[in-house]
Structure 1
Amino acid sequence: MTLRNALLERPNSLNLLRLVLAGSVIVGHAWPVGREGAAPGWVESVVSLAVPGFFCLSGFLIAHSRMRLPLGRFMWNRCLRILPAYWVVLAAVALVAAPLSTLGGGVWSASEAVRYMASNAALRQFTWTIPGTVDGWAWNGSLWTLWFEFIAYIGAGVLLSIALVRRHPATVSAVLYVLGAVSVWWMFGPGGISTDLFRDLAWLGTYFLAGMTFYFLSGRVPLDARWAIVSVACLALFLSLEWAHFAGGLPLAYSLLWAGAVIPARWAQRNDVSYGVYIYAFPVQVLLEWFVPGLGVALHIVLAFAITVPLAWTSWLLVERPAMRLKHLDLRRDHPRVPPRREPTLAP
């Protein structure tokens, strides 16, 4: 059986994997947010793969979506998936969490809250704090990746609009992946590039390209536990050698895709709360530390999950899922209504 058979022609557990990755971000943030210093080395190594893992899965899913949809409809769907919930979490932090935090000290300013929402509205994080609240801590240290995610959407959308690329997508994506990996190696090594904007774009973009490459090769790549074992072993080796940031894309992507095909959690296809967990966890953790400092890592993690998961479900039910129902909205006037095509649940 190939990856295409396992992931595109039958139910899969990719939503569950994204939820696990989002949960691991909560674990990783527990030490710095809880003022417990750095996480243990093995925890840091595992958690450091969470965001790259998201990008691997996104590359696979986004390539699938773009190859099925015209560019305009593809970008409309991507905006619906990421922006409404993002804007709501900005408002929730600025207008609910920040005022609530003043019960533990500080002063909330409506003008600063509006500035926080307005300056961050386009996904790029320009304002991290709301002055006067929580001693100037960053309110949501997880949102920085979303700008890079959206840039990847645009890049994939435009790239796969080129006729030559659409005829040879596997070759093009594989070549770009290799070029990306080399550029990341150079930036972090001999090039000495220190600008996070360029480093993060190349780093996360390379993982995204790894997922795209596996999508286009999915009809030829087998679903094989031996391949998964080798991938995990390579990933562990690269982590030990500190090579994972430029060489970990393919083994991480295959490991996750294999797990998504074989883990029996088909129920996860119907509901995807991973995005909500990702965007709400950090402000929840900030409030926990603000109101109940010194909880200890274990209790901090348990309480963070207990509060974040209901918020994520609420976001899914009231914001994300209703927004996604607009995917088939016909934006053209005076056009005969055509029954919408049923989209596969694979597409995020």
Structure 2
Amino acid sequence: MASDTTPREAAVSGTTAEGSGPARKQRVLGRRARTAHPPQTLAGAFDPRRNSLAMMRVGLAGVVAVAHALSTGFGWQPSLGGTDLSALAVDGFFVLSGFLVTRSLLRLRSVRRYAWHRLLRLLPGFWACLLVIALVLAPLAALLEGRDPGAVLTAGEDPAWRYVLVNAGLVIAQHGIADLATPAGETALDGSLWTLQYEAACYGAVAVLLAVAGLRAQRRVLAVACVVVWAALLLESVVHIPLEPPAFANDQLLRFLLVFLLGAAGHVFADRLPVRWTWAVASGAVVVATAFLPDHRLPGAACFAYLCLYTVVRLPWRWTPSWDLSYGLYVYHWPVQFVLVLAGATGLGEWPFVVLSVAVSLCLAALSWVLVEGPALRLKDARWVGSARPVRSREPLTTPGRPGA
């Protein structure tokens, strides 16, 4: 039945279809509050100029460095339940990387230029690290072992020159040099480099997924890809159905691809993803609980990714330094710790050894940024790198340039 009063008259008389009196007033005030202060999304909370991405990346690299220092020097590393903290930190790296490189791809709108940026960010620092290990740290380690430093360059089946050559393509085919080893029997000169091949594979995967679709299709494709990778990881880890992937595409690739794609989905769905402390608390509880399971990623990967992205916009440390030391700290801390162990620095005790190794690694990371990574990134806008295939989408977040992006 139609009403004989207008909405304005009904409001004055205190009678509407919503009810009357205090109940109606509460509903009206609630609706006005929701309209004035809508739930904040990741897109609204993320400020490209003031966020915690840089500090989180350095912090995650620091967690890995500390864990490896305790493992290399003293035979243990911190864990949460049955999950090493270093594994969680590396997963966090991949979540943030997925978020960042998806921004980069959609902002650049060119697969070729995106690939050029990724190569500049990954390979120059990696190649320089291989050379420093082969020409400086390996001879120093040989000297500490009482051997001829020059012999490691060419002697034996795994000389230093071969270490550089066979590993230059990111796939680590030679881990040691000339049988150098710590007293505990560790022979890998840099046990952190193996993850970089998976990062490069994830770069390619997100380019393939996003370069062929418009914005709406990108969202659907990323959602489906996350489910497919999660299901594949479930089949391999729980049901034990063996997959026959090519070369390095094993369960490690599935693990990294899952968290990477979740980070990418965080960017593509940023305008729909609420940023709520209650969600963060619940996600943190799930992450802690699943850390006690054999594989925390199967039940907890989505919550872990949400917690990482929530921290990006809510952590109070929102300083973006002009030098990005996270990559250098990640690739140099292991060989530094290898040499310090041979030098007997473990005699200082656990935490003095940790502090010393991280400090030396940060010095090498600073040199890497100043001499290699920074100059390489200044070539990002080279004119000869044209557009190969544009990415058909709009960028949901404003993304001015950032060091290392």
Matching of residues 120-199 of structure 1 within 5 Å: 120-134=167-181, 137-163=187-213, 166-191=215-240, 193=242, 197-199=249-251
**AA partner of residue 127 (structure 1):** Q
Matching of residues 188-337 of structure 1 within 5 Å: 188-191=237-240, 193=242, 197-292=249-344, 294-295=346-347, 296-331=349-384
Confirm whether residue 345 of structure 1 aligns to residue 402 of structure 2. Answer: yes
- How many percent of aligned residue pairs carry the same amino acid? 35
Distance 1:244 1:346, change over 3 A: farther
**AA partner of residue 38 (structure 1):** W
Which whole-Å CA distance do the structure 2 matches of 1:273 and 1:45 have between them?
A: 23
Which whole-Å CA distance do the structure 1 matches of 2:85 and 2:171 have between them?
A: 26
Confirm whether residue 12 of structure 1 aligns to residue 51 of structure 2. Answer: yes
2:28 paired residue number: none
1:94 paired residue number: 134
Deviation per residue, 1:180-232 (Å, 9 max, x gap): 11211221222264997411111110000110111111111122211111111
Cα offset, 1:125, TM superposition: 0.3
Q: Would you say the 8 A contact 1:140–1:283 is kept in 2?
A: yes
Where 2:265 maps in the other structure, the secondary structure is helix
Which whole-Å CA distance do the structure 2 matches of 1:87 and 1:54 have between them?
A: 20
Which whole-Å CA distance do the structure 2 matches of 1:346 and 1:213 have between them?
A: 23
Confirm whether residue 60 of structure 1 aligns to residue 71 of structure 2. Answer: no
Q: Would you say the 8 A contact 2:42–2:274 is kept in 1?
A: yes
Structure with more of its chain in helix, by fraction = 1
Cα offset, 1:346, TM superposition: 7.8
Q: Would you say the 8 A contact 1:6–1:12 is kept in 2?
A: no
Where 2:204 maps in the other structure, the secondary structure is helix
2:124 paired residue number: 84
2:112 paired residue number: 72
Where 2:211 maps in the other structure, the secondary structure is coil
Q: Would you say the 8 A contact 2:61–2:89 is kept in 1?
A: yes
Deviation per residue, 1:63-88 (Å, 9 max, x gap): 11111220000000000001000000
Cα offset, 1:175, TM superposition: 1.6
Where 1:241 maps in the other structure, the secondary structure is coil
Where 1:272 maps in the other structure, the secondary structure is coil
1:110 paired residue number: 153
Which consecutive residues of structure 1, in runs of 5 or more, have no partner in the other structure? 334-341
Deviation per residue, 1:312-338 (Å, 9 max, x gap): 1111122111111100011169xxxxx
Which whole-Å CA distance do the structure 1 matches of 2:271 and 2:295 have between them?
A: 29
Q: Would you say the 8 A contact 1:16–1:268 is kept in 2?
A: yes
**AA partner of residue 138 (structure 1):** A
Q: Would you say the 8 A contact 1:184–1:245 is kept in 2?
A: no
Deviation per residue, 1:30-81 (Å, 9 max, x gap): 23311x3333543854332011111111111111111122000000000000
Bigger Cα displacement from structure 2, 319-328 vs 291-300: 291-300
**AA partner of residue 118 (structure 1):** L
**AA partner of residue 119 (structure 2):** C
Which consecutive residues of structure 2, in runs of 5 or more, have no partner in the other structure? 1-39, 387-398
Q: Would you say the 8 A contact 1:124–1:147 is kept in 2?
A: yes
Deviation per residue, 1:150-174 (Å, 9 max, x gap): 011111112211135x432222112
TM-score (norm 1): 0.90
Distance 1:239 1:42, change over 3 A: closer
Q: Would you say the 8 A contact 1:65–1:347 is kept in 2?
A: no
Which whole-Å CA distance do the structure 1 matches of 2:97 and 2:120 have between them?
A: 15
The size of the alignment, in residue pairs, is 338
Q: Would you say the 8 A contact 2:51–2:319 is kept in 1?
A: no
Which whole-Å CA distance do the structure 1 matches of 2:404 and 2:310 have between them?
A: 17
Highest Rg: 1 or 2?
Answer: 2
Which whole-Å CA distance do the structure 1 matches of 2:332 and 2:48 have between them?
A: 33
Q: Would you say the 8 A contact 2:80–2:292 is kept in 1?
A: no
1:49 paired residue number: 88
Cα offset, 1:311, TM superposition: 1.1
